[in-house]
Amino acid sequence: MKTRPAWLKHTLRGLALLALCTLALQLVFVARIALMNLVDPQSTTFQRSEAWRLLVDKQQLLWSQSWVDGERISPHLKRAVIASEDAGFASHGGIDWEAIEKAWERNQRAEARAERVAARRPDRPVTAKVVGGSTISQQLAKNLFLHGERSVLRKAQELVLTLALEALLSKERMLEIYLNNVEWGEGVFGAQAASRHYFRVDAARLRPEQAARLAVMLPAPKRFEKAPASGYLLGRASVIAERMNDVQLP
Residue 57: the pLDDT is 83
For residue 96, what pLDDT is reported? 79
189 forms bridges with which residues in the sheet?
183
Contacting residues for 200 by C-beta, under 8 A, at least 6 apart:
none
Q: What is the mean pLDDT of the chain?
A: 86
Helix, strand, coil % over all residues of the chain, rounded to 5 = 65, 0, 30
At 126 the pLDDT is: 46
Higher pLDDT, 84 or 61: 84
The 3-state secondary structure of 190-213, one letter per residue: CHHHHHHHHHCCCHHHCCHHHHHH
Local confidence band at 243 (pLDDT 50, 70, 90 cut-offs): very high
- The pLDDT of residue 115 is above 60: no
Query: What share of the chain has pLDDT > 70, as a percent?
Result: 84
Instruction: Of 213, 211, 206, give the one whose Cα is nearest residue 229.
Output: 213
pLDDT band for 3, please (50, 70, 90 cuts): low
CB distance 61 to 51 below 8 Å: yes
Per-residue model confidence as pLDDT tens digits over 62-99:
788 999 999 999 999 999 999 999 999 999 888 877 76
pLDDT of residue 205: 97
**What's the rounded Cα separation, in Å, for the pair 83 and 35?**
29
pLDDT at 11: 82
Identify which has the larger pLDDT, 238 or 101.
238
Which of residues 202 and 128 earns the better pLDDT score? 202
Residues in contact with 24: Cβ distance below 8 Å, sequence separation at least 6, in sequence order:
none
| Higher per-residue confidence, 59 vs 113 | 59
> What mean pLDDT is predicted for residues 35-57?
90
Q: Tell whether the model's pLDDT for residue 171 goes beyond 90.
A: yes
Confidence of residue 148 (pLDDT cuts 50, 70, 90): confident
Report, as an integer, the average pLDDT of 34-60.
Answer: 88
For 88-108, give the DSSP string.
Answer: TTTTS-S--HHHHHHHHHHHH
- Is residue 110 scored above 60 in pLDDT? no
CATH superfamily ID and name for 10-96+133-246: Biosynthetic peptidoglycan transglycosylase-like (1.10.3810.10)
Q: Tell me, what's the pLDDT at 196?
A: 96
Residues 6+ apart with CB under 8 A from 47: 65, 143, 181, 183, 189
